[in-house]
Amino acid sequence: MPDDPGESFVLNTLLRDAGPGGASTLRVPPGDDAAILADGLVLTQDAFIEGVHWDERFSGADVGWRLAMANLSDLNAMGARGVWAMLSIAMPKPLDRSWVEGFSQGFSQALNQVPLIGGDTCSSPGPKALSATLGGRLVAAPILRSGASAGDEIWVSGQLGAAAGGYYGIASLLSAFLRPMPPLTLGPALAERALVTSGMDLSDGLSQDLHRLCAASGVSAQIDPTSLPLPAALMDRSDPVADAVGFGEDFELLFTARPQDNVAVRTLGESLGVSLSCIGHIQAGSGPPTLGQRAWPVGWSHFGTEAPC
């Protein structure tokens, strides 16, 4: 499935007009979960808009938690640990002080000692609008989307579809939607042990994200839909696999590893208390990945112009 043409248009326009100057400050070209500057600093940024990224089920604390975790998850995907955070916050008038207090609490809890070092505050004529930037440090060579090769095994952490289940009203999964828990120790640990050939986080769902990883690596992939780690509570839904691969918001790690490292990867997951599932393998030749005999569901699109693959 291609990226949303609307988002791609915005991105391509900005990169075209920015010119090639940025490339000299980067260690690797744009296209991963975060940028890596020449000195090894890893930078990621997420915008978070009321009515787009969250609804009335989220408390201010949930919003703060979710915003921080989305950014930390991108650092995790690179094999980096957070070292500082910056925040811009635009709020409608009159100011809802208790919402701000809740937001601040959730944001700092999720950051867990990563210091907030600056940002900006202003009023908004419409919804609340937030943007956080996180800086991180690599612990070893970075995890990139471009390193997968034929024969590699494809792994995911945790469960897929928990956030979808929460969104669609399954009470036992609501906390996974409101308060995602990315496996923040896993990315750096995989990088440190050189157990990973490529990786990214699952923010948009396996459907879109695996397509991106395959495209970046110039490979294809076969996924066994029966091997996907689905929450038991999702089984009441009409198509749990579609929920698990098409919704996103799980913030689990998708990565590839050499088959000879299978046991080492499993052992590492056990030592970190992170469940890991091998869900398929990388195939030679560029082309869309396959999901058994199924078609990939159409994923989320910000601008509503996305076509099914």
Residues binding Mg ion (CB under 5 A):
33, 74, 201, 203
Alpha-carbon distance of 34 to 209, in angstroms, equals: 14
CB of 200 to Mg ion, least distance (A): 6
45 or 149: CB nearest Mg ion: 45
Closest to Mg ion by CB, 33 vs 252, is 33
Residue 281's beta-bridge partner residues? 153, 222
**Least Cβ distance, residue 74 to Mg ion (angstroms):** 5
Instruction: With CA atoms as reference, report the closest residue to 249 among 162, 144, 155, 134.
Output: 162
Q: How far is the CB of 34 from Mg ion (least distance, A)?
A: 8
Residue 223 structure tokens: 């996924």
Q: Looking at beta carbons only, is 33 or 152 nearer to Mg ion?
A: 33
> CA-to-CA distance for 2 and 6, rounded, in angstroms?
11
H or E stretch covering 165: helix 162-167
Q: Which is nearer to Mg ion, 65 or 170 (CB)?
A: 65
Query: Whole-number minimum distance, CB 77 to Mg ion, in Å?
Result: 6
Q: Which of 37, 87, 21, 68 is nearest to 179 (CA)?
A: 68
**For residues 251 and 267, what is the distance between their CA atoms, to the nearest angstrom?**
22
Which tokens hold the place of 187?
A: 């990315």
Cis-peptide, bond into residue 5, ω within 30° of zero: no
Using the structure block, give the residue that is written with the tokens 């082309």.
287
Q: SS in 3 state form for 42-78?
A: EEEEEEEEECCCECCCCCHHHHHHHHHHHHHHHHHHH
Closer Cβ to Mg ion, 187 or 269, answer by number: 187
When the beta carbons of 41 and 264 are compared against Mg ion, the nearer one is 41
Judge whether 161 and 231 are in contact, CB under 8 Å: yes
Smallest separation, CB 100 to Mg ion (Å): 27
Residue number, nearest CB to Mg ion? 33
In the complex, what is the shortest distance from the CB of residue 206 to Mg ion, in angstroms, rounded to a whole number?
13
3-class state of residue 210 by DSSP: helix
Q: What is the CA radius of gyration of the chain?
A: 19
Shortest gap between Cβ of 46 and Mg ion (angstroms)? 9
Q: Which residue has the tokens 């956080």?
A: 132
Residue number, 74 or 250, with CB nearest to Mg ion: 74
Closest approach of Mg ion to the CB of residue 244, in Å: 18
Nearer to Mg ion, 52 or 284 (CB): 52
